[in-house]
Amino acid sequence: MTTAAKGRSAREASTTPAEAFSRVTGAAVEYATYKMSDKVAGLVGKGAGALADEIPGGSTTQRAGMAGVTAAVRGENPVWAAIKSSWSGAAATVKAAIVAGVVAMVLLLVLSPVLLLAFLVSLLVIAAVEKVLATRR
């Protein structure tokens, strides 16, 4: 064996604990990345509901998140998918509260300009009455 080969093998054998830990964590990250990409490729190949089926007993929030991830993987709008999933998993009281809030918001937006116009007309009427009373004195 040449002295260069002896020097190289001696350096490899005498690594510090930090170098060894770095190599081990690097290998673990590579392995985890491979397994995760393999799992995602398998789920994408299964179809639309494969990711949501991974959490059978999940909460509504978890299902909405998974629906958003599924839509993003398929190239669709993840926000709309999460909203639809949240709506379908919500309780009836929550749905009623959301509908009541939306109706109240629409009514406020529609009636606000009408109320403002009525207020301005009333100010004009008050100003006109004051002017008429001022001229009579």
> pLDDT for 80-90, tens place per residue?
988 888 888 88
The pTM for the full model equals 0.42
Tens of pLDDT, residues 12-28: 556 788 788 888 888 88
Give residue 125's pLDDT: 94
Tens of pLDDT, residues 95-128: 898 899 999 999 988 888 888 899 999 999 999 9
> Whole-angstrom Cα distance, residue 90 to residue 61?
10
Give residue 67's pLDDT: 83
Give residue 34's pLDDT: 76
Give residue 103's pLDDT: 92
Residue 5 pLDDT exceeds 60 = no
Burial zone of 62 (CB within 10 Å; 0-12 exposed, 13-18 middle, 19+ buried): middle
> Whole-angstrom Cα distance, residue 126 to residue 101?
36
